[in-house]
Structure 1
Amino acid sequence: VLTDRGLDAALSSVASRCTVPVKVAVDLAERPAEAIEGIAYFTVSELLQNVSKHARARAASVEVWRSGDRLMLQVRDDGVGGARTDGGTGLAGLGERLGAVDGLLLVDSPAGGPTVVTAELPWRARPAGA
């Protein structure tokens, strides 16, 4: 789905498998480079798995947009909060993978919720005709 139809369709597909309802909003005028698009997909997929496994949420949302030379992703849930990047391998590993491509992972998850995870990736344009 990602290769053929892009992030919007691929993330909608992942969201449909989450244990809570997820609203997906992708606001991109063009598709990013394949590698960046793949990392964005993987990141949101992992974050939605965390929502399903740990958040005890009733609802979640995914937003994707471009801001200058950055691809921005944000996953929110109304769950119990308490997510941390130093509490295990999941979010820490995701942050390391993003950092390897000059990306960034920010987690705002106070006890009691809500949780907002923002990821930034470098914007790289998809080659013409790809």
Structure 2
Amino acid sequence: MLTDRGLDAAVSGLAERCPVPVAVDIDVDPRPPGAIETAAYYVVAESLTNVGKHAGARSAAVEIHRDGPQLSIEVRDDGHGGASRTPGSGLEGLAQRVEALDGSLTIASPPGGPTIVRAELPCAS
């Protein structure tokens, strides 16, 4: 779906399958390069998987925006917090994927929540 219909459709599909309601706000015109789009998809997929499995959240939100040469991704939930980037975790693998594209990934997840996963990816045309 990502290749054929783009990031908006692919992320909307992830949101529909998440066990909690997910608000989606995406504006990525023009479409990012394939590797960047794929990394953005994985940021959302891993984050929403964690929301469903670990967060104890009642809702989540995904925002993806392209601002010139930068793609910003944010996934947040209203769960109990405590997510971390530990060796061998999905979030660590995700960070490595993002950093391999000269991007950055930050996780803010204090005890009591909320959890916010942010990624910035370069996407010069």
Q: Give the TM-score normalised by the residue count of structure 2.
A: 0.94
What does 1:17-32 align with in structure 2 at a 5 Å threshold? 17-32=17-32
Q: What is the alpha-carbon distance in structure 2 between the residues aligned to residue 53 and residue 19 of structure 1?
A: 9
Provide the aligned C-alpha RMSD in A. Answer: 1.3
2-structure distance, mates of 1:90, 1:39: 13
- 3-state SS of 1:82 partner: coil
Q: Deviation of residue 68 (structure 1)?
A: 3.3
Work out whether residues 24 and 61 of structure 1, in 8 Å CA contact, stay in contact via their aligned partners in 2: yes
Question: Cα distance, 1:47 vs. partner?
Answer: 0.8
Matched, 1:15 2:9: no
Partner of 1:71: 71
Structure 1 runs (4+) greater than 3 angstroms displaced: none
Structure 1 residues not aligned, in runs of 5+: 126-130
Q: Distance in 2 between matches of 1:29 and 1:90?
A: 29
2:109 matches 1:109: yes
CA contact (8 A) 1:20 1:52 kept: yes
Deviation, 1:88, is 4.9
> Which segment is superposed worse, 82-91 or 12-21?
82-91
1:122 alignment counterpart: 122
Cα deviation, residue 87, structure 1: 6.6
SS at match of 2:39: helix
Identity in percent: 56
Q: State the AA in 1 paired with 2:45.
A: S
Structure ID, larger Rg: 1
CA distance in 2, matches of 1:117, 1:111: 15
Measured in 1, the distance between the counterparts of 2:3 and 2:72 equals 19
C-alpha displacement of 1:28 = 1.9
Which 10-residue stretch deviates more, 61-70 or 83-92? 83-92
For normalisation by structure 1, the TM-score amounts to 0.90
Report the number of matched residues.
Answer: 125
SS in 2 for 1:76: strand
